[in-house]
Amino acid sequence: MASVQIVDVRKDFGAVKVVKGIHIDIRDGEFVALVGPSGCGKSTLLRMIAGLEQISGGEIRVGAKVVNNVAPKDRDIAMVFQNYALYPHMSVAENMAFSLKLKGVQRPEIEARVKKAAEILSLTPLLGRYPRQLSGGQRQRVAMGRAIVRDPQVFLFDEPLSNLDAKLRVQMRAEIKELYQRLKTTTIYVTHDQIEAMTMADRIVVMHDGIVEQIGQPLEIYDQPDNMFVAGFIGSPAINLFPGFFRTGDRAVFETDGGMIIPLDRAPAGPDKRRGVLGIRPEHVTIDPEGPVELAVTVTEPTGSETFILGRSENETMRCLFRDRVALKPGDAVRLRLDPSRILFFDEASGRRM
């Protein structure tokens, strides 16, 4: 196991800057998720850590060693690819043994290590099969088996679950997490799925447009997003963001550009009519006959465990999520209260949280 330090790492493809100076300090044995929308540079960063992409600037350290110019094979890193990248002409056992064979490990030891990894991943009955004879989940497990037989310093996962169906994804998510709990190997996990990041990682790195937007523990990032991008990216259904202005007076309120008036119990210091963006997560809205906001329901999506409501209030669209079953149907009107302690404010120009 080893720590991984990413110091001011940059990557340019010609004139295009894909990664623009990233600092991340990953502790020994930590599970870190790199999350962000497509094209944010997260996969490129992972490939640079793996040694599959040259670094245009900065430094990557695995343990104490700077690996900028170290070949992938000498980095002591294992990687699980999005499409598994299993060798189609080798059996499951051969796939898992390949790295040990290249290293010149003796045959009895190879067999013992493959057997052990196969047991951990319940692959023992499949050792003689070829990748084409396996299901998606089994292939995924073989890819992980190939990574763990080597007992590497660091595991890299590049969107490993995105080729699986929803049910299998949840199952494999748990398996990866369990594997991590067992091995406690430093893990860097790239995903565009914020649920995966939230549920699996010790810390999340939210990336956007080649920079790090925020690094933090999952709930810290969820509850205290540094900026509007992080607030909008993390959380599903997405946070409600209303541009508007603060009105000071007897009682502080926020008036959205769409005309919705939201009472506040605190407001950032500043002059009357100061502009800003108010953010409230859908589950921080409650139904209250005395509530200050009236919503005209347009869409209801009951999922059994919760109910999602989309509606209009004045000229704003608002998303609400209720843990209880609510008997609302399109066309109904309902009064809502926004939990004042959960309201977030962002600067309109910079997007930073106020």
Partner 1 sequence: MNRSIAYRASLLFLAALTALWTLFPFAWYFLVSLTTPGHIPRRFSFPDVLTLDSYASALFGSGAKGISANYSILPNIINSFVVAGLTVVGCTVLGFGAAYVFSRGRSTTLNVLFNALLVIRMTPAVSLAVPIYLMINAYGLSDTHLGLSLVHIMLSLPLAVWLLKGFIDGIPVELEEAALIDGASVLQVLRYIILPLAAPGVAVAACFVFLASYVEFMFASILSRGSSDTLPIAIAGYNSDHQTFYNEMAAASFMSMIPLFVFFYFAGRYMVRGLTMGAVK
What is the Cα–Cα distance from 10 to 18, expressed in whole angstroms?
A: 8
If one asks whether residue 52 binds partner 1 (CB under 8 A), the answer comes out as yes
What single-letter DSSP state applies at residue 15?
Answer: T
Query: For residue 48, what are its two tokens?
Result: 């640079």
Judge whether 13 and 61 are in contact, CB under 8 Å. Answer: no
| CA 55/CA 316 separation, integer angstroms | 45
Binding partner 1 (rule: CB under 8 A), the pick from 89, 107, 273, 275 is 89
Q: Is 49 in the site for partner 1 (CB under 8 A)?
A: no
Cβ-based nearer residue to partner 1, 46 or 197: 46
- Binding pattern to partner 1, positions 107-146, x when CB under 8 A? ---------------------------------------x
CA-to-CA distance for 86 and 158, rounded, in angstroms? Answer: 14
Q: How far is the CB of 179 from partner 1 (least distance, A)?
A: 18
Q: Looking at residues 245 to 284 of the shown chain, list those that interact with partner 1 (rule: CB under 8 A).
A: none
Q: Is 77 a residue that touches partner 1 (CB under 8 A)? A: yes
| C-alpha closest to that of 154 among 68, 38, 72 | 72
Nearer to partner 1, 94 or 175 (CB): 94
Task: Kindly indicate which of the ranges 98-106, 190-198, 236-244, 261-269 contains the residues binding partner 1, using the contact rule CB under 8 A.
Answer: 98-106
Q: How many chain residues bind partner 1 (CB under 8 A)? A: 24
Q: Which is nearer to partner 1, 99 or 248 (CB)?
A: 99
Which of positions 56-75 make contact with partner 1 (CB under 8 A)?
A: 71-73, 75
From CA 149, how far away is CA 147, in angstroms rounded? 6
Residues that bind partner 1 (CB under 8 A): 50-52, 71-73, 75, 77-79, 81-83, 85-89, 98-99, 102-103, 146, 150
